[in-house]
Chain A
Amino acid sequence: MWIFGYQAVADSFLSGLRQFLLSYSYIALFYVILVTLVYYFIFGFSIRHIFSIKRGIQYNRMNKLSGSSHLPPVSLLVPAYNEELTIIENVRSLLALNYAEYEVIVVNDGSQDLTLQRMIEEFKLELIHPVLSSSIKTGKIRGVYHNPEYPNLYLVDKVNGGKADSLNAGINLSHYRLISTIDADSLLEKDALTRIARVYMENPEETIAVGGNVRIVNSCTVEDGIVKDVQFPRKLLPALQNVEYTKAFLGGRIGWSAINGLIIISGAFGVFQKDKVIDVGGYRGGYPGEDMNIVIKLHRHCLENKIPYRVAFCPDAVCWTQAPDSYRILSSQRKRWGRGNLKNMIEEGIHMVLRPKYKVFGLLTLPYNIVFETLNPYFRLSGVLAILGYWLLNMTDWSTVVIFSLVNLFSCFSLSLGALFIEETAFGRYPKLSDLNKMLLYSFLMFVGYRQIGVWWRLNGHIQFLRNNNSWGTMVRTNFNK
């Protein structure tokens, strides 16, 4: 009797579980189709716009424009924390930009290494007492250094307060209406600023921010802060990140900017209207993801105050950055990104999502970001568990799983191919045929382990967030020619 009762309960449970898994499979299928369609929609916009972007690159004579007195002056803000290995090369590259009027403001964020000393010695800087604006509150400024022989270079030394605090300190010293944020481990191409300025000049009042394109410098030859010989990364992790960046920047951001729904401008290189950044209270400190946060705040500010605006992306303005080449550093970076994304969605996103007042940003960008980026690990993890359930309950066989996996793989791979199409059509930065072979290979390999582990890192980032871990994590710098 007892056995009969137990079996009845077990059967009922298994039947319920089967029903649940079946329902889940339809939801998962709907999710996958929807995410793929949104991806295709955005990629379609990117490909549609790439031809006009290509014409812009082809028909604008950058050399001539670089010397024009009509270019808007820009303050370049370079936050630096323990950057002794790369800071000098980075600053030299910035001082050699082809641009009429700009200043470089390096902000030493209480580095524990010799960043400050190296800067002072290399450029023979002296302590000065300029007037600092108090537009945004920052950590204590220990001193500002300058050398009239480098009239457009300033060094701010402050107590450690994080990247956002450093950027805010730079804003308080900056003298121009446009500010540009640049990572200290990155190198700007000589005409990158001119290219961004061209986009800005076409609509200066409404263009509140313009993002640049970030490319991977690993394995490239760098001389005097200039990338001389472009090479596809030789190591596995930088190579995978290279194709990942290509897909995200060329496939995604061009499309998002075309519909004014860009949610992030990479902290590595972007230009902003200073007064708008001040209006939204500057960069939010105390947590990673400040580059996404500032863009969300700008969207919100302009939409709430009915200010016509656009957040643009300029794919031909290139900034070369070092990609992590070890598992430990890459995982740390991705966990930080995961934490930053979650924090931004909780802090800003949920107040704007699905509200018509926030237009494309509230109705498309944020739902996309929340469902397909922030919650992505949970869908993936539940998907793996569901497959396990189907197998244990004899609800599927291996051939079905393989077929659906292949459909998913090839549909995603075609998006990578779309990004490569954009790269080859408009930019062609990697000249050799072997580079294309490698890009194709790594675009495929990305789906075999790398993306799955990326989901795991993001999930770990969320766990860190719940544990109130808001540290920057591990980041080891190396020389550019490595």
Chain B
Amino acid sequence: MYANIDVAIQALYVFIAFNLVCIAFIYAIKLRNIRRRRQNDRFQVKFKDYLTYVHASLNGVEPLRVPPWTMNEVEREAMQERLNDMVECFSGWQRQQLIRLCEDLGLVKHHLERFHHRSYPVKLDAAYHLGCMRVKEAMTGLLEMLKEHPLNSSLFVVARAAAKCARNQQDLGVIVQQLLRHDKKCYELVADILADSELDTVSLYTEYVNHTNSAYIQIGLIGMNGYTDPAAASAVYRLMDSKHEDIQLKAVEVYLKSSRLLPRNVVSKLLSHSNLDIRRLTLEALGTLRNAAYVELMRASLADADQRVVYTCAKGLLRMGQEGMAAVCESAAAAQGTDRGDFMHRLIDEELKHLSMQLHHLDKLTQYNTLMYTYDKIFRKPARMVRVV
């Protein structure tokens, strides 16, 4: 028992000492953070005029001048952060001016030196800043780092830095290859990282959609989703019949966005597709186009087995002028007494109510009158023949 007490007393001393060391360490961190914050605040005051000068001179032909003071470490870090933010906000000439300023301030050289440091945190910090400053010379080192980096959050930091510094499409290709090596299906993130590159990525994405590997195809489709180029339609058309459901859906999405004139045979095929999401997506796209030429094709979807498709179709048709409204009203009248008929009827009433509250907009007023007229004509309710003018 006494031996246990002695052990307990020793353990108590150890814990007390450990706690005191921890407390001292936490206070040291706190005080350092407070000091840095104060220095940062002083930087904001001291460099206010200089930063105003930088903002005002970004469009000038002359290179930006460096500040007339030497900076301590905290000031240099604060300046770096401000310049990083500005580089991200601007593009073109203004960005070039800022990158040149970073070079003149010695920041590029400083981080290139740090990039070869043995400590991983220092190296990663340098990689991040070199990426922000678009330092092309760092590209080889960044790709090497990317190849050796394990899978964790920092991998994507390095990849983003590399994408920002990419010299050509081959560099971007290597980045994609390295990220796909881990097989984590992070296609959206890869596309987001590639979007940070200063290079034109359309041809890369076009190349990817013709790739045999489904991972590349998905990245290509995600990347192309941002473009409304008719050429994209032909590039992805083949993929709408892919055996991968994800690829099918993404291909249809790109296809529907790429053109305002969709061939009737393709629309018909998509509207009868077995995938519910593809049918809905197509109807949403047609509703957005507001082209009465598609009304007849859409009418068939009002009889779709899935109520969500019927909903999307009816909502789209109600926005497509008199022909669309007539299609919904006629279908509702034909299905009167059934659940589907009641559902469509409710949607029409809802739309009428919604439009009636926005009659101060000329477009809405016209829509209201048209829908009201069609509604009364089809449902034969002459008492409601009211026009708002």
Contacts and interface: CB of A to CB of B under 8 A. Distances in A.
Interface string B162-200: 000000000000000000000011101101100100000
Contacts of A420: 26
A151 B185 CA distance: 31
B124 interface: yes
Interface string B1-22: 0000100110110011011001
A375 interface: no
Contact of A205 (B29, B156, B185): B185
A128 B346 CA distance: 9
Contacts of A60: 153, 156-157
A400 B5 contact: yes
Interface string A203-237: 11110000000000000000000000000000000
Given A55-B121, A131-B307, A204 B37 contact: no
A71 B186 CA distance: 11
Interface stretch (B44-52, B140-148, B347-355, B379-387): B347-355
A403 B16 contact: no
A58 B12 CA distance: 38
Q: Which of A128, A421, A424, A433 has the most CB of B within 10 A?
A: A424
B222 interface: yes
B23 A410 contact: no
A130 interface: yes
A68 B192 CA distance: 7
Contacts of B15: 407, 410-411, 413-414
A401 to B, nearest CB: 11
Nearest to B310: A131
A49 to B, nearest CB: 9
B33 A410 contact: no
Interface in A14-70: 51-53, 55-56, 58-61, 64-65, 68-70
A420 B26 CA distance: 7
B350 A129 contact: yes
Contact of B37 (A69, A424, A431, A440): A431
B237 interface: no
A129 B343 contact: yes
A433 B31 contact: yes
A321 B18 CA distance: 33
Interface string B24-39: 0111011101100100
B82 to A, nearest CB: 13
Nearest to A410: B15
A405 to B, nearest CB: 10
A58 B19 CA distance: 29
B8 A407 contact: yes
B91 interface: no
Interface residues of B, number: 51
B28 to A, nearest CB: 9
A400 B19 CA distance: 21
B137 interface: no
B88 interface: yes
Nearest to B343: A129
A70 B222 contact: yes
B124 A55 contact: yes
B88 A61 contact: yes
Interface residues of A, number: 51
Interface string A159-180: 0000000000000000000000
A356 interface: no
A421 B121 contact: no
A403 B5 contact: yes
A202 B156 contact: yes
Say what secondary structure dominates the interface of chain A: helix
B189 A64 contact: no
A421 B29 contact: yes
A403 B9 contact: yes
Contact of A55 (B8, B153, B354): B153
A251 to B, nearest CB: 13
Contacts of B37: 431
A70 B189 contact: yes
A209 to B, nearest CB: 17
B115 interface: no
B167 to A, nearest CB: 22
A428 B152 CA distance: 24
A148 interface: yes
B154 interface: yes
A433 B34 contact: yes
Contacts of B8: 400, 403-404, 407
Contacts of B5: 400, 403
A178 to B, nearest CB: 12
Interface string A120-155: 000000101111010000000000000010000000
A436 interface: yes
Interface in B282-335: 307-308, 310-311
A406 interface: yes
B154 A55 contact: yes
A52 B222 contact: no
Nearest to B128: A59
B226 interface: yes
A424 B33 contact: yes
Nearest to B29: A424
A418 B26 CA distance: 9
Given A65-B192, A201-B189, A428-B33, A59 B26 contact: no
A72 to B, nearest CB: 7
B184 A205 contact: yes
Contacts of A56: 153-154, 157
Contact of B19 (A61, A70, A72, A410): A410
A133 B276 CA distance: 13
A411 B14 CA distance: 9
B354 A202 contact: no
25 contacts: A52-B154, A55-B124, A55-B154, A56-B153, A59-B125, A69-B226, A70-B191, A129-B347, A131-B308, A201-B189, A202-B156, A204-B185, A205-B184, A206-B184, A403-B8, A403-B9, A406-B12, A410-B12, A413-B15, A413-B19, A421-B22, A421-B25, A428-B33, A431-B34, A436-B26
Interface of B: 5, 8-9, 11-12, 15-16, 18-19, 22-23, 25-27, 29-31, 33-34, 37, 88, 121, 124-125, 128, 152-154, 156-157, 184-186, 188-189, 191-192, 195, 222, 225-226, 307-308, 310-311, 343, 346-347, 350, 353-354
Given A58-B128, A70-B191, 12 more contacts: A55-B124, A56-B154, A59-B125, A59-B128, A64-B88, A70-B189, A129-B343, A206-B184, A403-B9, A421-B26, A428-B30, A436-B26
6 closest cross-chain pairs (CB), A and B: A410-B15, A70-B192, A56-B153, A417-B22, A201-B189, A70-B188
